[in-house]
Amino acid sequence: MKLLRFGPRGHEKPGLLDDQGIIRDLSAHINDLAGDHLSRDQLAGLAELDPASLPAVDASERLGPCVGHVGKFICIGLNYSDHAAETGAEVPAEPVLFNKWTSAICGPNDDVIIPRGSKKTDWEVELGVVIGTEARYVDESEAMNHVAGFCVINDVSEREFQLERCGNWDKGKGCDTFGPMGPWLVTPDEISNPHELAMWLEVDGKRYQNGSTNTMVYQVPFLISYLSRFMSLQPGDVISTGTPPGVGMGQKPQVYLQPGQRMRLGIEGLGEQSQNVIAEPGA
């Protein structure tokens, strides 16, 4: 299934995309695509519904982030061998963990705002993994049983805030609108191998990232098992698993986002996003 959320910001309703590309309203069956509604049993119940029996949604409706009420937004740094090489960093001996604040989450086609004082706002197309059932001290062999689905994430990053100022990476990762998520939450039955997916990102029609999840250093089952040693993963938590090469910081010379530009990105089988880049109002 391709599940989604639609409607005004903060008032999104759950839906699904049928085989004809029509959005269908699920709000008579669940109140949101969040929390316990992401369990395998709950998703199996939704899969039994006849999409044609569900109300159609106007195609002009805004798409919201494909998961509601996210508790933790966990990211993995330097997790693609070719991206680590372009930044001059060594592949880490263990996964590098950082957070994006949940206030960064926005819809897949919402505007991305360059924060005040930013000079180095960058892009990163990433595979998102959404947790469906609690995972705590999970064996790698059982990890995928805890996955509700996959989605596209743009890990927008302010490199000066992230790397050149005191503290950790988080301050450059969690600015408002720095976490476009969606368009869909795609259930695992539709993705035969999450480690063989083409992924790409363009700015103003120029393709900068053109990679594949097959260069991921630490794969999804390992990441879930690893994270579950340090925290319990709860339904609706999101893991953003790293980016392939082609980020602005890796260009020679470096290239960063400017107001008026447009990003477009996607992952095979998971859909596409598109964001206009705007300045912080009043900046």
- DSSP assignment of 218-230, as one string? S-HHHHHHHHTTT
Residue-level pLDDT at 283:
65
CATH of the domain at 180: 3.90.850.10
Residue-level pLDDT at 82:
78
Is residue 243, in this structure, part of any structural domain at all? yes
**Distance separating alpha carbons of residues 33 and 45, to the nearest angstrom:** 13
DSSP H stretches of helix in the chain: 40-47, 81-87, 159, 220-227
CB count, 10 Å around CB of 91? 14
Is residue 165, in this structure, part of any structural domain at all? yes
Q: How many domains does the chain have?
A: 1
- Residue 72, class by beta-carbon neighbours within 10 Å (0-12 exposed, 13-18 middle, 19+ buried)? middle
- Give per-residue pLDDT as tens, 197-242: 999 999 999 999 999 999 999 999 999 999 999 999 999 999 999 9
Is residue 33, in this structure, part of any structural domain at all? no
Please state which of the ranges 86-90, 157-161, 262-266 shows the lowest mean pLDDT: 86-90
Residue-level pLDDT at 54:
98
Residue-level pLDDT at 75:
97
What the block records as the tokens of 132 is 């469906």
Specify whether the CB–CB gap between 212 and 197 falls below 8 A: yes
- Give per-residue pLDDT as tens, 33-65: 999 999 999 999 999 999 999 999 999 999 999
Specify whether the CB–CB gap between 246 and 263 falls below 8 A: no
> Is residue 134 predicted with pLDDT exceeding 70?
yes
Average pLDDT, the chain: 95
The pairing of beta strand 206-212 with beta strand 121-122? unpaired
Averaged pLDDT for residues 240-267: 97
Is residue 147, in this structure, part of any structural domain at all? yes
Nearest to 87 by CA among 252, 281, 276, 267: 252
Band (pLDDT 50/70/90 cuts) for residue 160 is: very high
**Distance separating alpha carbons of residues 87 and 89, to the nearest angstrom:** 5
- What domain range includes position 255? 67-279
- Give per-residue pLDDT as tens, 67-114: 999 999 999 998 998 776 777 777 889 999 999 999 999 999 999 999
Most distant CA pair in the chain: distance in Å?
55
Residue-level pLDDT at 90:
79
Kindly list the distances between the CA atom of residue 157 and the CA atoms of 75, 203, 216, 263, in Å, as whole numbers in the listed order: 12, 15, 19, 14
Is residue 14, in this structure, part of any structural domain at all? no
Instruction: Give percent above pLDDT 90 in the chain.
Output: 90
Is residue 77, in this structure, part of any structural domain at all? yes
Residue-level pLDDT at 170:
87
> Is residue 168 predicted with pLDDT exceeding 90?
no
Is residue 202, in this structure, part of any structural domain at all? yes
Is residue 45, in this structure, part of any structural domain at all? no
Specify whether the CB–CB gap between 250 and 209 falls below 8 A: no
